[in-house]
Amino acid sequence: MAVHEIAVISGIDTHTDFHQAAVIDTVGRHLATEQFETTDDGYMQLLEWLASHGEILAVGMEGTGSYGAELARFLPGNGLTVIEADRPDRKARRANGKSDPVDAYAAATAVLSGRATGTPKTRDRIVEAIRALRVVRNSAVKARTQVINQIRTLMVSATSEVRDKLRGLPTKALIDTLARSRPTGSPDDPAYTVKVALHRLARRYQVLDDEIRDAEAETGPLVTQAAPRLVALPGVGPETAGQLLETAGDNPEHLRSEASFAHLCAASPISASSGRTHRHRLNRGGDRQANKALHTIVLVRMKYDPRTQQYVSRRTAEGMSKMEIIRCLKRFAAREIYRLLPHPQITSEQLCPTT
């Protein structure tokens, strides 16, 4: 058989500076492995190397959302099908060892066997822009929380002179008071240095607060542009909508159904029934940040949405606990949100079912 007639499958183990590629045939025989740089020239050399082995049926790749993000954009742009492959489980690693060629072959074998079937996120449209801005906001929020915690910790051990002036102040007033302060004294005086530290932490808090507001001002219009009907849902704001869009990606069509989206968001309760007891427990898998966004939406609806309040009352009368009701509401919210994600293949009948 001529080389160009051979059908092969590739696997790629991605890293910061180099990608390890491997090729197998359709019966799983190892044909070749090679390392390529993570540059434009390296990607082109990889493409030519793959084509030299025959017809590429698919490329299994680890790390499509991190080290392999650019390669996951490059290969589909040149006509190749990329499938996201998870790293081998621990049992397989213990049996076969760990190296870049072994991982590359494992990715190819996972595609051949059907264990790897995921479609990677495209990361080339508006949702990727939202994700980048949310990275800045989220890190600033964490840093701001750390700062206010440090301020309150210093206040606990400060002198009574400092504590009495700041005791009982709400956060905004506390930050404004400390930022306006002008400590005076000797550097070797602990009371003075504590005042200086509190002043500097308050200034840092204000800088982070401005950074968060700027990020939110940039993210909000993008979220509304990407999914205007999603933001219009009860209980859904730009922050929760942005997280759910980020979880689904720029190509939510890679999710097979609303059930797969619910599973991705860890909103598909797991059966925990036994004997005469019929119940479901929390699903601890999936994207925990997406699950947190659904939880926030549900809590807001339970407080302000009449339809949700009626549902809670009915389920409570049936004997369900509050946590079980929240899990059901998360599942309903995931179904509703999936239908409003910007996936082009969904018809109007699917968005507004008659039954």
φ, ψ for residue 32, nearest 5 deg: -165, 160
Measured over the CA atoms of residue 134, residue 140, residue 142 and residue 148, the dihedral's sign is negative
Please tell me the predicted confidence (pLDDT) of residue 348: 42
DSSP for 19-83 reads EEEEEEETT--EEEEEEEESSHHHHHHHHHHHHTTSEEEEEEES-TTTTTHHHHHHHHHTT--EE
What average pLDDT does the segment 25-47 reach?
Answer: 92
Please report the pLDDT score of residue 267 as a whole number.
Answer: 87
Q: What is the pLDDT of residue 197?
A: 94
Average model confidence (pLDDT) for the chain? 87
Burial 26-58 (b: 16+ CB within 10 A, else e): eeeeebebebbebeeebbeebbeebeebbebbb
Q: Where residue 352 falls among pLDDT bands split at 50, 70, 90?
A: very low
Element holding 10 (H helix, E strand): strand 7-13
pLDDT digits (tens, 9 = 90+) for 78-98: 999 999 888 766 666 666 667
Amino acid code (one letter) for 59: V
Task: Answer yes or no: are the C-beta atoms of 94 and 194 closer than 8 Å.
Answer: no
Q: What is the pLDDT of residues 157-205, one digit of tens each?
A: 888 888 888 888 999 999 999 999 998 888 888 888 999 999 999 999 9
Is pLDDT of 217 > 90? yes
Does the pLDDT of residue 64 top 60, yes or no? yes
Which residues are CB-contacts of 71 (< 8 A; sequence separation ≥ 6)?
A: 12, 14, 19, 38, 43, 46, 61
Q: CB–CB of 67/77 below 8 Å?
A: no
